[in-house]
Amino acid sequence: MSTRRCWAEQEGGCEGPLTREHVVSECLLEGQAVRVRGLAWCQGEFRPAGIGGPSCKCLCDKHNNTLSPVDGEAKRLLEALTLLLESKGGGQSNNPRIDGHRFGRWLAKTACNQAAANERHIPTRLIRYAFAERDDSTIRIYGAYGRGSHASIGLNHVGSYWLHGADNPESVAINIPFFGFPFILSTFSLLPFWPDVASLLRLDPDAGIMLMDRIARLDFADPGGSKGAIHFEWDNSCREAGDWMRNPLDI
């Protein structure tokens, strides 16, 4: 499916033709059998798609190339998850560090791609954040997990579930599970409404889902011992106040 305009045109400087932009970055799908649900041609069920299938012409050549580094950061996170999940334990000397802001920009870019592919409204603040040179405290980026339980991570799913404001299309919260781990991108603070909105974002309301704003670290362990950790580097001034958001999350 294609759109007629670059969704980043408000940033100015569009150059080149509209390019075919993957709804989920192509570098994350390499070597995988891709099935898609939720686009116009597959609303109710998963359907097979080639690696070039889940895409649309929605970014000009310049803006597409500008966002290449954020694709690279998402790939680095996937590679780190794969390494730690497949390791045998006993400790990892290499604990990778992810540029949190750049990964947050990838979340925003992915949300914009999905909205464009479905010809829906694309929130202006998400467009700006996708191209932002600095982190933005008005954009919330949460990790969500069950209270008192370990997170379950897989390597076979990236999707999104949107919560729209009733009267303001710019007000959105989006659950984007990154290969099983739910990251929530939001244009407003979810803390005053949590956990009431958890089920609206397709999170299990019975799991005691907690929020962790701009998560600092993912710890990986199994009965054989520690596997290692993935560290996220953010602008700390963009975190919401509270000790809860500084706690590590065990995987």
Q: What is the pLDDT along the chain (251 residues), one digit of tens a residue?
A: 444 789 999 999 999 999 887 776 565 566 554 455 445 544 555 555 555 556 788 899 999 999 999 999 998 998 888 888 777 544 445 688 999 999 999 999 999 988 888 888 999 999 999 999 999 999 999 988 765 555 555 555 556 788 988 789 999 999 988 877 889 999 999 989 988 899 999 888 777 788 888 988 887 777 667 778 889 999 989 988 654 444 445 44
**pTM, two decimal places:** 0.84
Contact 175, 182 (CB under 8 A): yes
Q: What is the radius of gyration, based on Cα positions, of the chain?
A: 18
Please answer whether residues 251 and 151 qualify as being in contact, where contact means their C-beta atoms are separated by less than 8 angstroms.
Answer: yes
Q: Can you tell me the distance from the alpha carbon of 218 to that of 250, in angstroms, rounded to the nearest whole number? A: 6
Task: State the chain's mean pLDDT as an integer.
Answer: 79
Return the amino acid letter for 71.
D
C-beta neighbour count of 212 within 10 angstroms: 22
What whole-number distance in Å separates Cα of residue 67 and Cα of residue 107?
Answer: 12
pLDDT of the residue at 247: 47
Q: Measuring CA to CA, how many Å separate 51 from each of 39, 58, 103, 118, 129?
A: 15, 17, 22, 18, 27
Is residue 88 within 8 A of residue 224, CB to CB? The reply is: yes
Do 27 and 21 form a contact (C-beta atoms < 8 A)? no
Whole-angstrom distance, CA of residue 29 vs CA of residue 22: 10
pLDDT tens for 121-166 read 999 999 999 999 999 999 999 988 765 555 555 555 556 788 988 7
User: Where do the domains of the chain lie?
Assistant: 70-250
Tokens of 102: 């750049």
Residue 245's pLDDT is 42
